[in-house]
Every structure is written in structure tokens, then in C-alpha cells.
Amino acid sequence: MTDVLNSPGDPLEEDGLLFGCLLDGKGGATIVNWREVEAWSETGPPLWIHLDRDSERVQNWLKHESTLTGPTVEALLAEETRPRVFRGKRGFVTILRGVNTNPDEDPTDMIAMRMWSDGHRVITIRQQRLLTPRDILRQLMETETGPTTASQLYERLIHRITERMAEVLASVDNRLFQIEESIDIALASEQRRQLSVLRQEGAALRRYISPQKEALTNILIEPPAWFDDESRLRLRETTDRVVRYVEEIDAARERAMVIKDDIANQLAEATNKTLYILAIISGIFLPLSFFTGLLGINIGGIPAAENDNAFWIFCVLMLLVLAGELAIFRRLGWL
């Protein structure tokens, strides 16, 4: 089964059914097709089906054959979704977002995973490829260490989609640390651009992770009746992790602002030093410029105009004025 699960293009897919399986209650599962899905009854083993939202057959099956209510189907097939949970007439709906780990995609472009269960069936629906369901399927088919009940499956899907966020958040934190450790005035423009990108990524992640925290908290407050004690305990840990993720995002955004302010302060300090040096130089040469300008006017009466040593005498006087200025500046603490 390893080759099947690892091969590209969802080879288990059958007309919108990305895969379906029956839990054996021992951590393993048996793959089923559409015919077996449609023939399944609640007296059989727990059923898990993972569906493609854009499939016409999937939409028809959900609307007319799945026994789900209209509002539930509408929520599962909605074009735009935000993390939320609600109790339907026949089951429990949870809509979450997971980081986009597909190749060449932006991880902050979070992908929706729609879930429904009544304790006997678990239905998951995706619009874009999401690796979380495949992770759980591998546990069931390869190592036979997967969930044994619908309750555990529902909880483990929530746990795994949350767990995958850790790597993205760690990447944001590492990039912040690298910028913080290598602040360089010469690279200030590039580093400020990187900080802006990190802040935008943090805002994009928080947009979905924050309501996800509220959604999971609502499940804990009023869990479905078919949730077992172990699943509730593990869900509490997952919720705590999401709370920590939100706190880490907020802390990262604040760190980015602090680093950006540090860069701005260093730029301002460097600018002030440059202006200070220019002011000192201007202060030194202003009197000298005055004297040279005064003696350079082309009118009669300029002292020592006929003296052959006047130039050298003037140079000595300028040196004395320069020495006097430097002494005054040093006494004032400007040098």
C-alpha cells in the first residue's frame, strides 16, 4: 500500500471520492470504493470518506444521498469558509484551515478542511490538496497505528492539521532571529522589506488561526455526545497548542516592530553622526572662508597687497585661527 499512497495524482480517487476506508477498530483500515460507500450502514464499521468538493458526483451525493441536512451540505460546500463549528441535526460540522504545504505554494495561503461526523461516519472535504488526511491514512494503512473509532479519527484530523502549523511558525521565528542577529545598516532597506513580509505573513496566519482557536474551544465547551474521554483530553491539548500559536504570532509581530524600530534608530544615529561631522567641518572652515573671501575682493586698500611675504603671513594666521578653533571646540566638548 505504500506505493499507492506515495504515488502522485491521488490514484485512489474514483469520481470525486479521493479515498474511502472502513476502520477495523485495531488501528488499521480497509479501502472502499463508491459502491461500498453507498452500501454502507451504521451497523458496519466506522466509515471515513475524503471527497473532492468540486466533483459533480460528490455534490449530488451530499445533497441527495448522504442523508445530511441542507444547511450542513451548504456549509460543507461553501466557496469561502472561515474556521467554525456547529451542531447540525444529524451530526457535527467542523471547518478548519491548514497551512499550504503544496510545492511552490505560499504556506500562509491556508487551505480549508471541512469535516462532518455523527459518530459512525466521518466525511472530510477538500477544495485544494491538503496533506493532513493522507497523513492519517498512512497511519491506518502502513503502520496500523491510526484511530480506532470515528471519535478518535475526528480528533486526530484536528490534531494533525494543527501540528503542521508548527513548522511554518518556527520558520517565521527563525527568520526573525536571523534578521535580529545580523542587523546591518548597509542592508537596512532589504531587512526592513523582509520584516514587512514577515508581518504580513503573521497577519495572514492569525486571520485563520485565531478563529480556529475559538472554534476548538467551542467543541471543548459542548462536545458531541459520541466524543470519548480520550479524544476530549487530546483535543484540549490541541486547543492549548492553537492558543500558543496565536500568542507566538502576536509575539513575532511585536518582535518585528521592535527590530524595525532598532534599524530605524541605527539609521537615524548614523545620519546624526554624519550631520554632526559635517557641522564640525563647516564650523571649522566658516571663519577661514570668511577671511579668504574678505581678502579676495578686488578693491584697493587690502593690507600687505604689495608685500612679497603676505601670502605666507596669511597662511600662518589661518593656521593660528584653525588651532584656536580646535581648542575652543575641544573645550566645549564638541571634539
Tell me: do 43 and 111 sit in the same domain.
Answer: yes
> CA 90 → CA 21, 117, 121, 130, 230, distances in Å?
21, 8, 11, 26, 23
| Cα separation, 78 vs 228, whole angstroms | 29
Residue 280 has which C-alpha cell?
Answer: 564640525
Which residue in 40, 30, 27, 234 sits closest to 143, CA to CA? 27
Among the residue ranges 36-40, 107-111, 145-149, 304-308, the one predicted with the least confidence is: 304-308
Check whether residue 260 and residue 280 sit in a common domain.
Answer: no
Residue 266's CB: how many other CB atoms inside 10 A? Answer: 14
pLDDT of residue 334: 67
Within this chain, do residues 139 and 7 fall inside the same structural domain, yes or no? yes
Residues 6+ apart with CB under 8 A from 158: 94, 96, 115, 216, 235, 238
- Which residue range(s) make up the domain with 237? 2-265
Band (321; pLDDT cuts 50, 70, 90): confident
| pLDDT value at residue 115 | 95
Q: Are residues 224 and 248 in the same domain?
A: yes
Beta-bridge partners for 47: 22, 121
226: number of Cβ within 10 Å:
16
Instruction: Report how far residue 159's alpha carbon sits from residue 136's, in angstroms, rounded to the nearest whole number.
Output: 10
SS3 helix, strand, coil % of the chain, rounded to 5?
A: 60, 15, 30
Are 146 and 292 members of one domain? no
- Asked if 259 contacts 181 with a C-beta cutoff of 8 angstroms, the reply is no
pLDDT at 4 over 60: no
CA-CA-CA-CA dihedral for 232, 238, 239, 245, to nearest 10: 180
- 326-333: long-range contacts (C-beta < 8 A, 24 or more apart)? 326/284, 329/280, 329/283, 329/284
Torsion of CA 125, 127, 129, 135, to 10 degrees: -20
CATH number at residue 317: 1.20.58
* pLDDT surpasses 60 at 141: yes
311 with 182, same domain?
no
Q: Domain check: are 141 and 258 in the same one?
A: yes
Q: What is the pLDDT of residue 38?
A: 92
Do both 52 and 201 map to the same domain?
yes
Per-residue pLDDT band for 299 (boundaries 50, 70, 90) equals: low
Helix axis angle for 165-181 and 150-163, nearest 10°, is 20
Residue 202's CATH number: 3.30.460.20
Q: How far apart are CA 135 and CA 143, in angstroms?
A: 11
If you average pLDDT over residues 175-182, what whole number do you get? 86
Confidence (pLDDT) at 30: 94
* Nine cell digits for residue 164: 503542521
Scanning the structure block, which residue is given the C-alpha cell 492519517?
136
> What pLDDT sits at residue 47?
96
Please indicate, yes or no, whether residues 172 and 248 belong to a single structural domain of this protein: yes
Residue for cell digits 539609521? 267
55-80, pLDDT tens digit by residue?
999 999 999 999 999 999 999 999 88
Average pLDDT score over residue span 307-323? 79
What does the pLDDT average to over 249-269? 87
Of 265, 291, 322, the position where a domain reaches its end is 265
Q: Is the pTM of this model over 0.85?
A: no
Residues 226 and 175 reside in one and the same domain = yes
> Which of 317, 327, 331 lies closest to 284 in space, CA to CA?
327
Model pLDDT, residue 83? 92
pLDDT digits (tens, 9 = 90+) for 191-244: 888 888 888 888 889 988 999 999 999 999 988 999 999 999 999 999 999 999
Crossing angle of helices 131-138 and 150-163, rounded to 10°: 130
Tell me: do 229 and 99 sit in the same domain. yes
Bridge partners of 95?
84, 114
Contact between 59 and 78 under an 8 Å Cβ cutoff? The reply is no
Is the pLDDT confidence value at 7 over 50?
A: no
Q: Are 140 and 200 in the same domain?
A: yes
**Of the residues 242, 265, 288, which one is the last residue of a structural domain?**
265
Domain boundary among 243, 265, 287: 265
Domain count, the chain: 2
Neighbours of 318 (CB within 10 A): 14
Q: Determine the average pLDDT of the residues in 16-35.
A: 94
CA-CA-CA-CA dihedral for 267, 273, 279, 280, to nearest 10: -170
